[in-house]
Amino acid sequence: MTTLTPVLTANWDQANSFTLDGYGGDYGAARKALGMDPDAVIQAVKDSGLRGRGGAGFPTGMKWGFIPQGDGKPHYLVVNADESEPGTCKDIPLMMANPHSLVEGVIITSYAIRANHAFIYVRGEVLHVIRRLHAAVREAYEKGYLGTDIFGSGYNLELVVHSGAGAYICGEETALLDSLEGFRGQPRLKPPFPAVAGLYASPTVVNNVESIASVPSIIGNGAEWFAGMGTEKSKGFGIFSLSGHVTRPGQYEAPLGITLRELLDMAGGIRAGHQIKFWTPGGSSTPIFTDEHLDVPLDFEAVGAKGSMLGTRALQIFDETTCVVRTVLRWTEFYAHESCGKCTPCREGTYWLKQVLKRLEQGQGSEEDLATITDIADNILGRSFCALGDGATSPIHSSVKYFREEYLKHFEIGGCPFDPKKSTLWSEQ
Ligand SMILES: Cc1cc2nc3c(=O)[nH]c(=O)nc-3n(C[C@H](O)[C@H](O)[C@H](O)COP(=O)(O)O)c2cc1C
Ligand code: SF4
């Protein structure tokens, strides 16, 4: 696979890509969808094989199908635009450069699930993106694509852009709903799932930005077109974000199943004179990979079979000059800071992981500390209230698995082997 498949990113290099003119359309896919039976729209998305692009990969059409019909309750669509996972950088550039694909996707999805109110919950720090979203929504209202009697179909939809206050946990769908309702953002006990009792205790679909923005292309080009890309169980295309020690970092939209080796070829490789050491396939919550994994197809199944997760396709690349212990410490500081404190394994566990990792990184630890961080991570994994806790253990377990020697080296030399004052680079030992 050597080609990219620019769909969502196709117009990003045009100066006016974020305007309706730059989007180049009259919301043709939404017009088409509103002429269809809502169930036929759901079926088309099921047939396309689209799976959630927010990390877990749940089939999108199936999720829409869970919304009870004829229940007399209001239904809601909530777009998760909180993007805060370290390394993940696709929804924010997508909303910056191509917000109309999202707005059009919101119209189609809301119609399919019989919702008349939709919300985009966007991360509060990205003010420039919030402005772009507001402008796109305003343009759509002015054209009559939102509001009452859209395209003369009799269908009404109100769309609200709501900015959060910048908490990673508010990306977890039920914490997001609490935050949107005005409460402190903490995960809810499931069941009931949002499809049954979500926003204001009514049936709610929560989907990622990229999932919803992919919908107009599916309706416009047909389910088969989408299903013709990707692999058997991971259909279609996705945005792969390459960051770190890469010659040309950025967003590469490609079929699922592409490998990091192929993506690196297109991105000019690792920065000159260096080699890859480790990388994340899907952000810091997904177990790290090494140079052994360059040819693993980046789809949900193959990445899972090799012990990690596709997550959000956030490919953070680290070369041989990077200390893995320091990197894991930085990620762990993030999780300890963002832990919402609701449950003990995550609240206490991430705090203690941080303390012990600090000691290890400074070369003041012992082999016992390695057993301690593994033990703490074992006590968080599977015992936390939400997936933030599980995610915090991924860097610990995987780094100890692949780089145990590097941890040991820290306390052997009483400091970081990558610190020029302590020793030469690890690669030169
Ligand atoms: C701590 C945490 C943070 C999350 N952050 C996001 C996020 O920023 N955006 C997102 O779409 N999903 C995020 N998720 C996943 C959501 O809970 C949910 O699975 C997703 O929005 C569903 O959309 P999808 O089916 O379209 O992927 C997060 C989950 C957890 C546990
Ligand atoms: S796992 Fe962490 S973030 Fe999730 S509920 Fe428990 S304390 Fe909060």
Tokens of 205: 């679909």
Specify whether 137 is located in the same domain as 24: yes
In this predicted structure, the answer to whether residue 429 has a pLDDT above a threshold of 60 is: no
Burial pattern 209-226, b for ≥16 Cβ within 10 A else e, equals: bbbbbbbbbbbbeebeeb
CA of 401 to the centre of ligand 1 (A): 27
Task: Give the per-residue pLDDT at 3.
Answer: 83
CA of 80 to the centre of ligand 1 (A): 7
Q: What is the pLDDT of residues 62-120, one digit of tens each?
A: 999 999 988 999 999 999 999 999 999 999 999 999 999 999 999 999 999 999 999 99
Q: What is the pLDDT of residues 181-225, one digit of tens each?
A: 999 999 999 999 999 999 999 999 999 999 999 999 999 999 999
Specify whether 288 is located in the same domain as 374: no
CA of 93 to the centre of ligand 2 (A): 28
Give the sign of the dihedral formed by CA 15, CA 17, CA 21, CA 25.
Answer: positive
Specify whether 155 is located in the same domain as 248: no
CA of 47 to the centre of ligand 1 (A): 23
Task: Give the per-residue pLDDT at 294.
Answer: 98
Residue 165: what are its φ and ψ, rounded to 5°?
Answer: -115, 15
- Nearest protein Cα to ligand 1, atom 8: 83
In a domain, 338, yes or no: yes
Specify whether 166 is located in the same domain as 149: yes
Identify which of 89, 126, 172, 210 to mutate to test ligand 1's pocket (most ligand atoms within 8 A of the CB): 172
The bridge status of strand 276-280 relative to strand 314-319 is antiparallel
Task: Give the per-residue pLDDT at 393.
Answer: 98
> CA-to-CA distance for 426 and 429, rounded, in angstroms?
5
In a domain, 228, yes or no: no
In a domain, 147, yes or no: yes
Boundary residue ending a domain (178, 198, 223)? 223
Identify which of 184, 347, 379 to mutate to test ligand 2's pocket (most ligand atoms within 8 A of the CB): 347
- 328 lies in which domain range? 324-428
Specify whether 137 is located in the same domain as 267: no
- Radius of gyration of the chain, Cα coordinates, nearest whole angstrom: 22
Task: Give the per-residue pLDDT at 156.
Answer: 98
In a domain, 185, yes or no: yes
Tokens of 291: 């140079």
Specify whether 292 is located in the same domain as 343: no
In a domain, 2, yes or no: no
Specify whether 313 is located in the same domain as 390: no
CA of 117 to the centre of ligand 1 (A): 20
In a domain, 14, yes or no: no
Specify whether 157 is located in the same domain as 102: yes
Boundary residue ending a domain (273, 300, 319)? 319
In a domain, 248, yes or no: yes
pLDDT band at 427 (very low <50, low <70, confident <90, very high): very low
Tokens of 193: 């799932």
- Which H or E element spans position 32? helix 28-34
Specify whether 368 is located in the same domain as 288: no
Domain CATH number, residue 144: 3.40.50.11540
pLDDT band at 24 (very low <50, low <70, confident <90, very high): confident
CA of 286 to the centre of ligand 1 (A): 14
Specify whether 49 is located in the same domain as 161: yes
| Protein residues whose CB sits closer than 6 Å to any atom of ligand 1 | 52-56, 58, 80, 82-84, 168-169, 171-173, 206-208, 211, 386-388
pLDDT band at 142 (very low <50, low <70, confident <90, very high): very high
Using the atom order of ligand 1, give the atom closest to the CA of residue 210: 26
In a domain, 272, yes or no: yes
The phi-psi region of residue 70 (left if phi > 0; otherwise alpha if psi is between -120 and 50; otherwise beta) is left
Domain CATH number, residue 259: 3.10.20.600
- Can you tell me whether residue 59 is helix, strand or coil? strand
Q: How many domains does the chain have?
A: 3
CA of 169 to the centre of ligand 2 (A): 8
- Nearest protein Cα to ligand 1, atom 23: 207
In this predicted structure, the answer to whether residue 312 has a pLDDT above a threshold of 80 is: yes
Specify whether 79 is located in the same domain as 207: yes
- Which H or E element spans position 81? strand 76-81
- 1 vs 4, 5, 120, 295, 336, CA distance in Å? 8, 11, 34, 11, 39
Give the sign of the dihedral formed by CA 416, CA 419, CA 422, CA 428.
Answer: positive
In this predicted structure, the answer to whether residue 426 has a pLDDT above a threshold of 60 is: no
Q: Are 278 and 325 spatial neighbours (Cβ–Cβ below 8 Å)?
A: no
Residue 244: what are its φ and ψ, rounded to 5°?
Answer: 95, -140
Domain CATH number, residue 386: 1.20.1440.230
Ligand positioned closest to the Cα atom of 344: 2
Specify whether 284 is located in the same domain as 213: no
